[in-house]
Amino acid sequence: MKVLVLGGAGYIGSHMCKLLSTQGHQVVVFDNLSTGYQEAVKWGPLVVGDVLVKADLEKLFSQHGPFDLIIHFCAKSLVGESVKQPNEYYRNNVVGTLNLLDQMVRTGHDKLVFSSTAAVFGTPLVELIDEMQPRLPINPYGQSKKMVEDILQDYFNAFGLKSVCLRYFNACGADPDAEIGERHEPETHLIPNILKSVLNGSEQKLKVFGDSYPTADGTCVRDYIHINDLASAHLLAGEYLDTNKGAYAFNLGNGAGFSVLDIISAAENVVGDKIPYNIEEARAGDPPVLVANAALAKQELGWQPQYTEIEKIIATAWRWHQNERF
């Protein structure tokens, strides 16, 4: 099938494109390269444009469509930044998605897989978060994703546009072949920052944000999921829409929580050295614990994560960061 991947030059999108290509699908990438990298686009043409520019979307669909499936990763995604710049997050994540949805409706495209987030749940009320938990985001990033989830239900009701929202917990790791991997400017994700602190030595001491959360060791607890397992879930979600009509949402995670200090300890085992760190002030909008119950995704999509051991996940990232290709 022919698949449009919006945000395909980014971390998750590029891994998605590699999986699609290896499965024999044709890929078209649309990205404004604000956070993605042209060098990460290896498995199909890159169309440079912005979801905020309707003319860019019209040109994309007229010149490269029609598409059998559309996968939407384009979003601003920094929690702390969203608290300081909510206007940018609502404009890019909500208005940009509305532009895409309207273009899909106008051109008869009715299958979308949307990149959502565990941040829609805010501070969870239970240890393992399933799809029945209330969505009460505590930052504009999470709120912007919740708004799109609600919009997608309305677009199905009004226009028959079928969708699956996939709520990630913490995406991590890298392509096992180390062709592509994680790179952000600035980098805010824990595992790459841990590994970069090792590579850069005393020049970049690791920062741990907060040590007084209501957790076993005082640091945030998260559910870490390998990037290839995320990509496989998107492909399965697209196939799910071949036989299911509706606006669906599934949680994706391994179902195990690791604190920041747990991850540092696992990384020390991978790199074979101690990793020093400084405790910094907690970041605004960070909930103490986010761990997924992904039973519904496994049941409905037939999804099964292949990377379930945290040290093996970190090892794929370590191979990438030791020899980054872009």
Domains 2-172+224-253 and 190-221+256-295+307-322 share a fold: no
DSSP 184-226: -SS---HHHHHHHHHHHGGGS-EEEE-S-SSSSSSS-EE-EEE
Structure confidence at residue 78 as a pLDDT band (50, 70, 90): confident
Q: For domain 190-221+256-295+307-322, say whether CATH 3.90.25.10 is its number.
A: yes
pLDDT at residue 325 in the model: 84
pLDDT at residue 326 in the model: 85
Domain chopping of the chain, boundaries: 2-172+224-253, 190-221+256-295+307-322
CB 116 within 8 A of CB 145: yes
* Cα 62–Cα 55–Cα 52 angle in degrees, nearest 5: 125
Comparing 29-38, 257-266, 286-295, the range with the smallest average pLDDT is 286-295
Residue 209's Cβ-count burial label (10 Å; 0-12, 13-18, 19+) is middle
Q: Domain 2-172+224-253 is of which CATH architecture?
A: 3-Layer(aba) Sandwich (3.40)
pLDDT at residue 284 in the model: 73
More confident residue, 202 or 51: 51
Q: Which amino acid is at 286?
A: D
187 contacts: CB under 8 Å, gap ≥ 6: 193, 196
Of 141, 155, 213, 240, catalytic? 141
Distance (Å, rounded) from C-alpha 204 to C-alpha 19?
33
For 16-40, what is the mean pLDDT? 97
CB 151 within 8 A of CB 90: no
pLDDT at residue 186 in the model: 82
- What percent of the chain shows pLDDT beyond 70? 99
pLDDT at residue 287 in the model: 80
| pLDDT tens figures, 173-225 | 999 999 999 998 888 889 999 999 999 886 678 999 999 999 999 999 999 99
- What percent of the chain shows pLDDT beyond 90? 90
| pLDDT tens figures, 275-321 | 999 999 998 767 888 899 999 999 999 999 999 999 999 999 999 99
CB 162 within 8 A of CB 110: yes
pLDDT at residue 202 in the model: 62
| pLDDT tens figures, 86-121 | 999 999 999 999 999 999 999 999 999 999 999 999
For 155-184, what is the mean pLDDT? 96
pLDDT at residue 88 in the model: 97
Q: Is 141 a catalytic residue?
A: yes
